[in-house]
Chains A and B, each alone.
Chain A
C-alpha cells in the first residue's frame, strides 16, 4: 500500500513560499492552454515552462522520477493504441492495422501535454500541504462543505489506513494468503465491511467530540494566507506564460 504522507509539501523553496491561493490560480492559468494545445510547439513550450517551475520547487528527484514513470504508463498505452486507429500514412503494419505517422505525432503531442500538466501539478499543488489546500480552496470561493469534506477526509486517511493494516495483520496471523479465488475476495470484502463499520462508529464518536468542543459547522483556518508582491509577480508570469503558449499555438 503506497504511503499517504506528502513529502513534496515540505520545503522552503521559492514555490513553497508563495501563497497557496496564488499557486492554485497559477495552475488554472497554466493548465487551460496546456490542456487545449493543438500544436507540438505550444506543448513543448508548456513542458519547458513546467520543468523550470518544478526546478524552482526543488523536489526530491527520485520521487518525481518514480511518479513520472507511473504517469507515462498511460502515455505508453496511448503510443501503442492511438497510431493504430488514427488515419494517415502508414509507418509499418501490424496485422490488418497500420501504425500511422499522424497517429504517432498525436501520441507525441499528448505525451508532451500530459507530462507538462503533471510537472505543473507537482510543482504547484503537491507543494501545498493538504490542510492549507482546504483553506486555500475555501478562500477561493469553493463551497464550504466541500472544503470541510476535503480537510476531514485527509485528516482520517492515516487513521483508517492504520486500522485497515491492523485488520490485515490479524487476518494474516490467522493464515490468510491472498490468491485468485472466492475465499480471498470474500475475506477482502469482510475486511472492507469491518473497516466501514469501524469508520461509521468512529465518525459518531468524532462528531460527538466535536459537538462537545462547541462545533457549530464552521472550521477555522489556522494557515495564514498572505498575498504578497512575490505572489503578484508569480501570477503575472503565469499569465504571460499562458499567453505565450496560446500565441505559439496560433503561429504554428
Chain B
C-alpha cells in the first residue's frame, strides 16, 4: 500500500515526514547497538514475507504484516519500515523520495500503536487469547493503514475522494487475511519461541 511520488500536496508530505522522523528517532534511540543484527535480520525476514502472494479468490494479494512487525520489533518498526521502503526504491524503484515520510508513517504508526495496545492479548499463554490478539493486531493495523492512506489522499484535495474510497474498500479483504495469518503466526511463535514476541513488547 504505497502512494507514489508526485501525487500528494506539500502539507500532507510535510506532516508525514514529521511523524516518520519522530518515530524513526524514537525507534533508533531505543535500539541498542547489540540489537542491530537481530533487528536487521528480522527486517529482512519481513521484507521477504511481504513478497509472498497468497491466493484470494481468483486473484492474489501480497502480505503486508505491519501488525506482526510492530509486535516483534516495537518502536524499531519505524526504522525497519523506512529501511524496507529505501530498499524497495533501490530494488524495484517503487515509491520516491518526498513520499518516503508519508509511506513510513502510514505503515508504522498503526503497527506500533496496535501492538502496544494489544500487548496483554499477544503475550497471553492461552492460545485462544493470543490468536484473538494476533487477529486484531494484524487486521487493525492494516485497516488503520488503509484509513491513513485514504486520509493522506483526501487531505491533498477533494478530487481524491473516490480514489480514497476505492483504496479503502479494496483494502478490506486484505485486513481479514492479514488478521488470519497474523493470528496463526502469533500462536505459533508463542508455542515455539515466545521470546520473539516478548522482547519488544515487555
Contact = CB atoms under 8 A, between A and B. Distances in A.
B4 A153 contact: no
Contacts of B34: 207
B96 A203 contact: no
Contact of B87 (A1, A122, A154): A154
A185 B5 contact: no
A117 B4 contact: yes
Given A27-B97, A74-B4, A196-B42, A153 B90 contact: no
Interface in A140-191: 143, 145-146, 148-157, 159-161, 164, 178-180, 182, 184-186, 188-190
Contacts of A179: 55
B42 A190 contact: no
B144 to A, nearest CB: 21
A199 B166 contact: no
Contact of A189 (B45, B84, B94, B188): B188
Interface stretch (A84-92, A235-243, A244-252): A84-92
Interface size class of A (residues with CB under 8 A): 35 or more
| Chain A interface helix/strand/loop/mixed | helix
Given A31-B97, A81-B163, A192 B43 contact: no
Interface residues of B, number: 74
B48 A67 contact: no
Contact of B93 (A32, A34, A103, A118): A118
A87 B45 CA distance: 45
A27 B97 CA distance: 8
A110 B6 contact: yes
7 contacts: A31-B98, A36-B10, A116-B6, A155-B40, A156-B44, A160-B48, A189-B183
Interface of A: 1-2, 4, 6, 9, 27-28, 31-32, 34-37, 43, 67, 70-71, 74-75, 77-78, 81-82, 84-87, 97, 103, 106, 110, 112-114, 116-118, 121-122, 125-126, 128, 130, 133, 143, 145-146, 148-157, 159-161, 164, 178-180, 182, 184-186, 188-190, 192-197, 199-200, 202-204, 206-207, 210, 217
